[in-house]
Amino acid sequence: MNTSHQLPPEMAPSKYIEKVSLVTGETLDDEIRPDQLLVHGHRDYHIVDVHARFMMSRIVNATGDEEEARDRMKRMRSLGRRTSRVLARMIGEQNPEKVSKALFGLKDKEYYFRYRKHHLPRQEIEKRIDGLRHAAEERLGEISSDGRPHLRVLLTGGTGFVGKEILWQAAHNDNIEEVVVLIRPKNIHDRKTGELLEVITPEQRGKKLLEQLWLDGPEERCKFRFLAGDVEKPNLGISEDEVAGLEKTITHVIHCAASVAFDDPYEDAFRANVTGSLNALRFSHALQNVDGGRFVAHLAIETSYIHGRQTKQLAREDEILFPRNFYNNYYELTKAMASIDTERFMLEKDLRVVQLCPAIVIGESKAGNNRGDTKVVNAPVNIFGRAGAALADKKGSWIDRSKASALARLACVFPGDPSAQINLITVDRVVAGILAALERPGATGRRIHLATDKHITSLHIRDIVREELGVDVKLAEPTLHRALTLPLLTRVLKRLRQERLAYALKKLGTIFGGYSEWGQPVHEVGRDARLLGLSEDRPDTVHAFRMLCRHNHRVQQFGAVRDLDEISRRERIWWEFVLALEAKHDSAAGAIPAEVFRREFAARIDPASFEPV
Ligand SMILES: NC(=O)c1ccc[n+]([C@@H]2O[C@H](COP(=O)([O-])OP(=O)(O)OC[C@H]3O[C@@H](n4cnc5c(N)ncnc54)[C@H](OP(=O)(O)O)[C@@H]3O)[C@@H](O)[C@H]2O)c1
C-alpha cells in the first residue's frame, strides 16, 4: 500500500530512517514510503521466490541448520542471477535485472536502510548515561525516608492488558503511594447504526477497573486516582490545573499506552505509538525541569520486536539497528521509531529514561489469567479451540455436521515453521520488571529486554494444543500458505458465505504468520536480572502456554465470554482452583498432565455456571 501521498511531513519515515547507497555509501534523497520498510514489501511477490523459501524451510526442518539454509538461498539467488545474465544476452536485453526480476523474482538492492541516529562516540554516550544514572540515584535518595522510596506514578495505558497487571502489582507494593492513571473517555456506539449511545467517563472507567481487579477495598481505592487524558494530545490532554498539581508530586511516568494492532494502517499506528510517546516524553521532560519537583525517571514501555526481523545477529539490548529483514508490521516499525525518539530525549535533552522491551506477552505464569485479553497469541488459540468445539459437536443434520467439520478443519491450518522460536513472556514477569525499574537507578539510560531464554517452537505449540484442546493443528509453510493457499482458501470460503471465517483465517495467516517463520530473531536477555534484580530463572514458557490454553478454554470459552465483570468473577474462582490444585499435587499447575488437570477441573468446577461444586 502506497500511503506516501497523504502523509503529513511529521509522519515521514525519513525523520527516522535514511536510505544509503550500497555503491557509493552516500545517503540518498529518495522518498521513503512506510510500505517499503515492511517484510512484505520485499517478498512474496513472485512464485519462484515463494518456492525457494518453501524449499529453505524444508531444509531447516530436515537439518535444523538455519545457516546452511541461508547459504543455499544465497547460492540459488546467485545461480538465478547468472542464468538471467546469460538469457539476457541471448534475447538481446540490455538490463539483465529485468530478466531476473521477471523470471525469478530477484531484485538487486542497491541501497540499504539505517536509522538516523546521533553520531556520538560510545564513550561519550556512556559518560552521559553515567551522569543521568547518578542524578536518578540522587533524586531517588531525596524521595526516600524510613529506608524506602515514596513513589508516585503517572501511568498511561492502565486499562490495557499490561496496564491492569501494573495496577494489580502496584496495589500490593508498599513503596508505591499513589498511581494516577490517565484514561480517555470511552464512546459506546450502536453496532449497526454507529449512533453514539453512551460516553463512559474516565472516573467511571477507573471505578469499574478496580472492581474487576478485585481492588475495590477502601484502602486500595485511595491509592489510585483516574485522570482524563489522551496520549495523542499535547500535554497528554491533561488540564492545566491538574498539570500544576502533578508537577509537584509525580516521581515517575510509566508510558504504557499504545496501539498493539498488527494490522493498523501506518498513520494510526504512528499517532498512537510515536505521537503518543513523544507527548509522554515531553510531559516527563517538563516534570524533570520543574523547580522543587520530585521527578526521578520516565519508563518507556516498548517491545523487543523493535528489532523487527533481525536474523543472524542476536537482537542486542544496547543497540537498535534497522533490521536486515525489515519489520513485520507498522506496530513494530512505529514502536522502533518511538524508541529512537526516547534515545534522542535522553542524549539530547538529558531526560532520565528507562526503556523496557517486553517480548510477546501472555497471561500470568501460575494460572494464565489475562483479564479478558484476546490479542496476539490468544487469537490463534481461540480459533483452534472454537474449531475443535465445532468438530466435536454432534448436533444438526449430517450435511450441517459435514460442512461444519470441513470448515473447522480449514481453521486448524496454521502458518508456522516447526522450528520457529516464539518469544513468549508472562505478564507478571514483565510487570515485575517495570516496577523494579522504579527503584533501580542503575537501569537509567538502558534498554532492557523483558523476554525469555526458554523459547517455545511452533512444534511445541502444536503439540500442547493437541494435548490440551484435542485439536489437530496442521502446520503449513508460512510463505507458501500466505502467498498461495490462503488467497485461494479465502475465495472459496467467501463463495460458501463464510466471510467471518475467511476474515479470521486471513488475519491469522497474514498477521501472525510472520512470527512463526524460520529464522526468528533471538532477543538477548540478561539486564532484567543484572539491572532490575529479577530472577535469572525466567518463567517456564511451556507451562505458561499450557495454562494459557486451559484458561482460554474454560474461563473465556475461547473468546465467547467477553463481559469483563464475568471474566473477573471467573478468574477469581480459577485462581483459587489453581492454588488448591498446586497444593494438592505439590507441583506447578502447568506441570500437571492434561488428563489429570481435566479430571480435577470436572470434579471441582461446574463448567456451565463456573461455580465451585
Ligand atoms: N501485549 C503484548 O504482547 C505486548 C508485547 C510487547 C510490548 N507490549 C507493549 O506494552 C504496552 C501495553 O500493551 P498492552 O498489551 O497492554 O496493550 P492493550 O491491551 O491494547 O492496551 C493499550 C492501552 O493503551 C491505551 N491507549 C491507547 N491509545 C490511547 C490514547 N490515545 N490515549 C490514552 N490511552 C490510550 C488503551 O486505552 P483504552 O482502554 O482507552 O483503549 C489501553 O489502556 C504497549 O506499549 C505495547 O507496545 C505489549
Domains of the chain: 4-114 (no CATH), 121-362+424-450 (3.40.50.720), 378-423+454-612 (no CATH)
- Please tell me what DSSP assigns to residue 536: S
- Which of 154, 156, 159, 364 for a ligand 1 pocket mutation test, highest count of atoms within 8 Å of Cβ? 159
Residue-wise pLDDT tens digits, 384-399:
888 887 777 667 666 6
Q: Is 255 in the pocket of ligand 1 (CB under 6 A)?
A: no
Q: What does the pLDDT read at residue 84?
A: 73
104: pLDDT strictly greater than 50: yes
Residue 58, class by beta-carbon neighbours within 10 Å (0-12 exposed, 13-18 middle, 19+ buried)? middle
By the 8 A CB rule, do 222 and 207 touch?
A: no
Q: Ligand 1 centre and the CA of 576: distance in Å?
A: 28
206: pLDDT strictly greater than 60: yes
Q: Is 272 in the pocket of ligand 1 (CB under 6 A)?
A: yes
Q: Ligand 1 centre and the CA of 260: distance in Å?
A: 6
604: pLDDT strictly greater than 70: yes
Residues sharing a CB contact under 8 Å with residue 332, sequence separation 6 or more, in sequence order:
303, 305, 306, 308
Lowest mean pLDDT among 79-83, 319-323, 492-496: 79-83
Task: Quote the pTM value.
Answer: 0.91
Q: Which residue has the higher pLDDT, 454 or 388?
A: 454
Q: Is 206 in the pocket of ligand 1 (CB under 6 A)?
A: no
- Which ligand 1 atom sits nearest the alpha carbon of residue 377? 3
44: pLDDT strictly greater than 60: no
Lowest mean pLDDT among 56-65, 91-100, 170-179, 202-211: 56-65
The neighbouring-strand residues paired with 361 are 425
- Residue 2 pLDDT class (50, 70, 90 cuts): very low
Q: Is 268 in the pocket of ligand 1 (CB under 6 A)?
A: no
Residue-wise pLDDT tens digits, 288-321:
999 999 999 999 999 999 998 866 668 899 888 8
Lowest mean pLDDT among 82-86, 247-251, 298-302, 305-309: 82-86
- Please tell me what DSSP assigns to residue 317: S
Residue-wise pLDDT tens digits, 498-524:
787 788 777 777 777 778 777 788 899
CA nearest neighbour of 553 among 457, 465, 474, 612: 465
Give me the mean pLDDT over the 539-549 stretch: 97
Q: What does the pLDDT read at residue 48?
A: 62
Percent of the chain with pLDDT over 90: 64
428, amino acid identity: D
CB atoms within 10 A of CB 444: 27
Q: Is 564 in the pocket of ligand 1 (CB under 6 A)?
A: no
279: pLDDT strictly greater than 50: yes
Cα separation of the two ends of the chain? 55
Q: Is 157 in the pocket of ligand 1 (CB under 6 A)?
A: yes
Percent of the chain with pLDDT over 70: 89
